[in-house]
Amino acid sequence: MPGVHQMKRYSAFAVAREALRFHTGWERAWRSPEPRRRYDVVIVGAGGHGLATAYYLGKNFGITNVAVIEKGWLGGGNTGRNTTIIRSNYLQDPSAAIYEKARGLYETLSQDLNYNVMFSPRGVMMLAQTQHEIRGYQRTAHANALQGVETRFITPAEVKELCPIIELDGPRYPVLGALWQPRGGTARHDAVAWGYARACSAMGMDIIQKCEVTGIRSENGKVRGVDTTKGPIDCAKLGIVVAGHSGVLAEQAGFRLPIESLALQALVSEPIKPCMDVVVMANTVHGYMSQSDKGEMVIGGGTDGFNNYTQRGSFHHIEETVRALIETFPMISRLKMLRQWGGIVDMTGDRSPILSKTPIEGCFVNCGWGTGGFKAIPGSGWAMAELMAQGRSPLAEEFSLDRFRVGKFIDESVAAGVAH
């Protein structure tokens, strides 16, 4: 039965209490129930965006008769595969609005969810390594000032001061400055998914893992429910939040999305002592890096140029990325790489996301976040919940599917390809 499930709060007191009784009192962070026959809302995809959508449906609109269904395991897709960078220094107003909303929500997310997502506003810098990039980032800094997003164009000397391990006069591209967002940073990606899942479960929502959607049922152009590997589930409203597999779900529903799926890679090094406390993105040479709390250097690579559903990616991209980073940070040249992985990113034509109604009434999509979705999770969930509950959302307005038909693109060159 739906209803609020009282969960014990995490606190310093709880740690002390459990320490005194051999940690026997910790409960599972979320329930794993069997699906019921019917829900008000079904969200497909228990990644960050899907869980955040469910969470804000409950928190902001009191809609808690919700199931979040997931083919694999919770947060096992791109939520668990990204490089955890959070920033909102976008050029276009609609992008800055939704990413800054997300960044703002990240600031207090740990308190809001009672779950430590380890948001670390350590600062993000995007290096300018050509004259063209200097002009581009200065323009972005001016746009951000108008949008109320705190960014600043900084000098090479400031870059060196913030990140002493950087090589300013590299062999190919010198560092000529950077776009600096002091309140950008990183968060623990898994914890974001787990925190939302725990909060959703506490509100009485069902999170159903290892349950694949095999069909989407509609009648007279209105959504009726989904068929899954755990049986049919009816719903009044359906949210498709499945990133790289959005096209597969859309096909089941009978429409096409302007999405192509590519593999994007990331890798981490062996852990080393703390050596950089900012996030550095070098877009001209195609590489970006930050250091995790464990000491691993977290490195983002490039996307494959061709359609791909394999969650692996091509080897030569790693070579290119690592080569670029050794130019920028010569001290990492002897580092061993520990792990490499890929995720399937959903790329749109203008590199901006889609939060939209669909040709099927009651069926909504949230996709197209491409290479940079992690940073947007809270804002995306906020806007998607608003869209599903009320039929419109100011934050999502410009991101509708319609923009591809009328030609009203939100062209984000900074969101393209590798720059995340």
Partner 1 sequence: MLILECPCCGVLADETELTAGGEAHLKRFGPESSDDEFEGYLFRRENPRGVHFERWRHSHGCGKWFHAARNTVTLEVYGTYSAQTTEPPEAIRQKISGVAPGWKWRLFK
Residue ranges that bind partner 1, judged by CB under 8 A: 245, 247-248, 251, 256-261, 305-310, 314-316, 348-349, 404-407
Q: Residue 384: which of 122, 53, 7 has the closest Cα? A: 53
Amino acid making up residue 20: L
Choice between 61 and 404, CB closer to partner 1: 404
Q: Which is nearer to partner 1, 308 or 380 (CB)?
A: 308
Considering the complex, state which of residue 45 and residue 247 has its C-beta at the smaller distance from partner 1: 247
Q: Using an 8 Å Cβ cutoff, are 87 and 99 in contact?
A: yes
CA–CA dist 222, 135 (Å, integer): 49
Q: Cβ 257 to partner 1, closest distance in Å? A: 7
Residue (146 or 406) nearer to partner 1, CB = 406
CB of 306 to partner 1, least distance (A): 4
Minimum distance between the CB of residue 402 and partner 1, rounded to whole angstroms?
9
Which single residue is written with the structure tokens 């070098």?
282
Instruction: Give Cα 92 to chain centroid, integer Å.
Output: 19
Shortest reach from residue 409's CB to partner 1, in Å:
10
- Closest distance of CB 405 from partner 1, Å: 4
User: How far from the centroid of its chain's Cα atoms is residue 137's Cα?
Assistant: 23
Query: Least distance in Å: CB of 307 to partner 1?
Result: 5
> Please, which residues have CB within 8 angstroms of residue 121's CB and are 6 or more apart in sequence?
86, 107, 182, 183, 184, 185
**Is the Cβ–Cβ distance between 247 and 56 less than 8 Å?**
no
* Cβ 148 to partner 1 shortest distance, Å: 31
Identity of the residue, 280 or 345, whose beta carbon is nearer to partner 1 in the bound complex: 345
CB of 330 to partner 1, least distance (A): 25
Which lies closer to partner 1 via its Cβ, residue 302 or residue 378? 302
Burial of residue 350 (CB within 10 Å: 0-12, 13-18, 19+) is buried
Contact 347, 419 (CB under 8 A): no
Structure-block tokens of residue 263: 């593999």
Give CA–CA dist 213/226, Å, rounded: 7
Q: 190 or 320, CB closer to partner 1?
A: 320
Q: CA–CA separation, 210 vs 226, rounded Å?
A: 15
Return the residue matching tokens 């459990």. Answer: 18
What helix, strand, coil percent values describe the chain, rounded to 5? Answer: 35, 25, 40
Closest distance to partner 1 from the beta carbon of 248 (Å): 5
Question: Which residue's CB is nearer to partner 1, number 230 or number 256?
Answer: 256
22 vs 306 by CB, closer to partner 1:
306
Smallest gap from Cβ 87 to partner 1, in A, equals 27
Q: How many CB atoms lie within 10 A of CB 373?
A: 26
| Residue 141 structure tokens | 């800094």
Concatenating the DSSP letter of every residue in 161-177 gives HH-TT--SB-SS-B--E
When the beta carbons of 103 and 286 are compared against partner 1, the nearer one is 286
Residue whose C-alpha is closest to residue 41's, from 27, 25, 55, 29: 55
